[in-house]
Structure 1
């Protein structure tokens, strides 16, 4: 790739200036795989150039993670380091921005005891509950981006050599995040405007229910009276505009916790905690999953659904057209950041407070009274397809076709 370094620099600048929108005198926290060190340094450089006072990096390493799961006793996973909790909570309270690089091996933990993985996930989620509430309530600016790693690229493009697969994944990512355009920041401005038009359409119609139908799916979703659709970028509580996901193609809100009925079929594999869950179905009654199947990853799905009282309910419904940049690549990325932005999706677990009117000012009890689901988890899974139809019914009883054959009607 001839202009690789130029594209890489543009990507780093985009993530810092548009993604988290770093402010003068602000601290940037970067969560990064150690394999992505070069890109992390570029992010830090851009942040300092834009006035950041400090860049704090949290490294992770797939090989060490797997080594720990394979060798450490269960008691190690029964506790999460308090110093790490204190670090994240302190940085969030001090107004830091958080930028994460999502690039793990999709099948890293496929040979690990699922009980051990489930325990670790639950303990971590409980420990970081306050920090997660800061993030999901938009008290801080945050953004998730992706960078190729060898294992991930090999999973996406298994028929290529390791070097070719990494290069092809870079090429795909540059296209998807619009870095290959002459002016990526302007391209994102235009993209955000287009998403905002869809947000305004959905919010102006005040839909009471959505009816989703496709092969394997017949699902009715009731929306809370005070639900709010959002998409593209958002404002944090200090008034700074940021884009939480790069890429982002979705418009999303929360369902009424007890308002989902019917059956839904997954349309893409779900990479969850180093395991693949694929070809699964969920059956709902009054919002709760009452039955499920999975051709692959059944035990992992079972552990996810059983995480806590709220993990068997949904926290998000998101609309993404089948005719969109990521979907048109016709590639399964085994990375939720990309796959969820190629497909309509739902999410197990916690709802975003920002999807209710004044939700980020509400207590947990107030959110629950308005119909929001609470949980330790928030895990997106893909349900969109070329044949997905969505019909919305307004509070006045008017029926409007929202999606036809997978795309905006």
Structure 2
């Protein structure tokens, strides 16, 4: 891949993604396979004035070895030093960048009980860190870089090198690095997303009704004081950043107890190195009361059973069927990309920033408004070419939001 394009991408992540500030620390979580690109990001961060760069290397091949061979007690405790690592840099006001590039089926031979147990323990230990990011108290960004295993899953008919090259091209196009001025392209894109947010926020819908030919027939109630957000976010100090690169969505929080009906997946869910495919979920008064899956049933079951909040929804996101990533006709097997090709929902924790004045609310006040809390947040895709969404106001007026998979306004 052209080195100048990679530098362009790295600089975009530093300057627009996390928007690094002078004398700020950057913490990067990266697979070891992405080391070359991660070092490039670190160098650019220093050039842009970072006080320091800290790299948290991840090795998923070792993780698989550990899941298979370690004794059970290895998954029952979370090391105090890891908890302190994350909490320390949150308190230091660090920026957080995560490179998401897992092998979609690496963990298919691993007992899902072990993965679920470790994730629950880690989620509890890192609650303060996660809440800081989901409340935008720290800037954060998730982006991707190809790995051989991931690229071969996306392009199985190509050689490893050809698949990696092809996946690079798709990623750089999705994040607008293929344009002459990516920063300017992102400014234009943010303005486009704002039009959708303004339409949704001005109508103050009380309910959304989703229907399509797959079998989705779902009614979602929205909390009082909900807001639709998307594109960029801001810290309390006013620092702008983009949490997901790419992003094509506008999203809000559903009312925890206000979801009824059935939703059917439109793309596979890659969760913890396992694929969940062709699944459906049924809700009553917000809670998941039934579910099925042709593949990955146990993985979905463990996700839903993580805690009390993981049997409720925490996000509803709208993405046009003709979004650029959808038009690429590539199934990425990576939530960061696939969720931006499709309307989606998320099991688990809601983003407090989707509620007006949430920064001045307690956890109890957010709970009273119907904002769900959980140790997990897992997006799954439901958008289709024939998806219809009707918005219903408090006065009972019905307004088309989506028709034939795209915004109707």
With normalisation by structure 1, the TM-score equals 0.99
Distance 1:42 1:361 in 2: 39
Secondary structure at 1:310's aligned position in 2?
A: helix
Aligned to 1:242: 241
Q: For 1:248-287, list aligned pairs within 5 A.
A: 248-287=247-286
Equivalent of residue 85 in structure 2, options 84, 87, 99: 87
Aligned to 2:300: 301
Distance 1:114 1:88 in 2: 25
| Structure 1 unpaired stretches of 5+ | none
| Structure 2 unpaired stretches of 5+ | none
Q: For 1:25-104, list aligned pairs within 5 A.
A: 25-104=23-102
Distance 1:81 1:186 in 2: 43
User: Aligned pair 1:348/2:347, yes or no?
Assistant: yes
Secondary structure at 1:58's aligned position in 2?
A: strand
Shift of 1:363: 1.7
Distance 2:200 2:290 in 1: 31
Shift of 1:160: 0.6
Secondary structure at 2:324's aligned position in 1?
A: coil
| Structure 1 contact 138–360 (Cα < 8 Å) conserved | no
Distance 1:395 1:113 in 2: 47
Shift of 1:171: 0.5
Shift of 1:361: 2.5
| Structure 1 contact 265–281 (Cα < 8 Å) conserved | yes
Give every structure 1 segment of 4 or more consecutive aligned residues whose post-TM-superposition deviation is greater than 3 Å.
none
Secondary structure at 1:292's aligned position in 2?
A: strand
Distance 2:55 2:186 in 1: 26
Distance 1:79 1:343 in 2: 37
Distance 2:44 2:386 in 1: 43
Shift of 1:58: 0.1
| Structure 1 contact 270–381 (Cα < 8 Å) conserved | yes
Aligned to 1:148: 146
| Structure 1 contact 255–314 (Cα < 8 Å) conserved | yes
Distance 2:364 2:378 in 1: 22
Shift of 1:341: 0.5
Aligned to 2:398: 399
Secondary structure at 1:227's aligned position in 2?
A: coil
Distance 2:41 2:236 in 1: 24
Aligned to 1:107: 105
Distance 2:237 2:224 in 1: 27
Distance 2:391 2:61 in 1: 47
Q: For 1:112-151, list aligned pairs within 5 A.
A: 112-151=110-149
Aligned to 2:166: 168
| Structure 1 contact 23–51 (Cα < 8 Å) conserved | yes
- May I ask how many residue pairs the two structures share in their alignment? 407
With normalisation by structure 2, the TM-score equals 0.99
Shift of 1:208: 0.4
Aligned CA-pair RMSD = 0.7
Distance 1:236 1:335 in 2: 27
Distance 1:284 1:63 in 2: 36
Distance 1:290 1:39 in 2: 44
Shift of 1:396: 2.2
Secondary structure at 2:137's aligned position in 1?
A: coil
Distance 1:81 1:325 in 2: 42
Distance 2:356 2:96 in 1: 25
Shift of 1:30: 0.2
